[in-house]
Amino acid sequence: MLRVTGDDFDLVEVVNFQNPWPGSRDCTVLAREALLEAKVELSPESPLRVVSLPYLIALKLYAGGRKSTNDVLELLERNREHLDLAGLRDVCNRHGLGAALEPLLTELGFA
C-alpha cells in the first residue's frame, strides 16, 4: 500500500490489485469488477470513481486483518438501512469471501 499525504489534502491510500505480491491471493477479477461497477465520480474534474459498498466490503475482506475487519463492521453498521444484503452476499460469494462475511453479519444481527 502506498500512502500519500500533503498539506492541502487528507491521507490517500493507494492499493495495487493489478500486480499482487508473489505468493499472495490474486484478486484481479474482484478488482476489475469493482472498477467496472464504480459509477460515482470522486469529483466532476476527476476521472476517478468510487467503488460501490458491496465491492468496498469485499475488497476489505480480501485484505484481511483486524483493521479491515473492523472497517467492514463499521461499514455494515453505518449503512445498515441502505445495504443491499443480497448484492453484498452475491459479490462476496462469487469471490470466495462469503465465509469471511457471514460471521460479521451474524455479529451485527443481519438476517
Q: Flag whether 86 is in a domain.
A: yes
Convert the pLDDT of each residue in 23-52 to its tens digit. Answer: 556 677 888 899 889 988 888 888 888 899
Q: How many domains does the chain have?
A: 1
Give the predicted TM-score (pTM) of the model. 0.77
Q: Flag whether 12 is in a domain.
A: no
Q: Where are the alpha helices (DSSP H) in 15-96?
A: 28-37, 53-63, 66-78, 85-94
What pLDDT sits at residue 47? 84
Q: Flag whether 19 is in a domain.
A: no
CB 58 within 8 A of CB 25: no
| % of the chain at pLDDT higher than 70 | 86
31 is in which domain, residue-wise? 26-107
Q: Flag whether 75 is in a domain.
A: yes
Q: Flag whether 41 is in a domain.
A: yes
Convert the pLDDT of each residue in 63-109 to its tens digit. Answer: 899 999 999 999 999 999 999 999 999 999 999 999 999 999 999 99
57 confidence band (pLDDT: 50, 70, 90): very high
